[in-house]
């Protein structure tokens, strides 16, 4: 092993995983871990590209009426 650290923050700083993601599932370089990382990166990119009104609409869909 080369000791390389995985990077997936989605920005140019090449930081490792954001702390709010928690610890990745699976063994290093496994398919399970790659899928977990890919889903988190998709969420991050979606949030970064979303307009405020899109985020409000998404939140409104998640809310449940009493």
Domain range holding 35? 28-62
Contacts of 50 (CB under 8 A, 6+ apart): 58
Q: Give the pLDDT of residue 9.
A: 47
Separation between Cα atoms, residue 65 and residue 42, nearest integer Å: 29
3 state SS for the chain: CCCCCCCCCCCCCCCCCCHHHCCCCCCCCCHHHHHHHHHHHHHHHHHHHCCHHHHHHHHHHHCCCC
Q: pLDDT per residue over 5-55, tens digit each?
A: 555 544 445 556 777 888 888 888 889 988 998 998 898 888 889 999 988
Q: Give the pLDDT of residue 53.
A: 92
- Is 20 part of a structural domain of the chain? no
- Is 46 part of a structural domain of the chain? yes
The band of 4, judged by pLDDT with boundaries at 50, 70 and 90, is low
- Is 8 part of a structural domain of the chain? no
Q: For the chain, what is the domain count?
A: 1
- Is 13 part of a structural domain of the chain? no
- Is 6 part of a structural domain of the chain? no
- Is 53 part of a structural domain of the chain? yes
């Amino acid at each position: 092993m080369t000791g390389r650290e995985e990077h997936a923050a989605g920005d140019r700083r090449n930081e490792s995983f954001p702390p709010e993601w928690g610890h990745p599932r699976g063994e290093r370089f496994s398919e399970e871990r790659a899928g977990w990382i890919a889903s988190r990166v998709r969420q991050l990119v979606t949030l970064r590209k979303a307009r405020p009104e899109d985020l409000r609409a998404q939140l409104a869909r998640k809310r449940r009426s009493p």
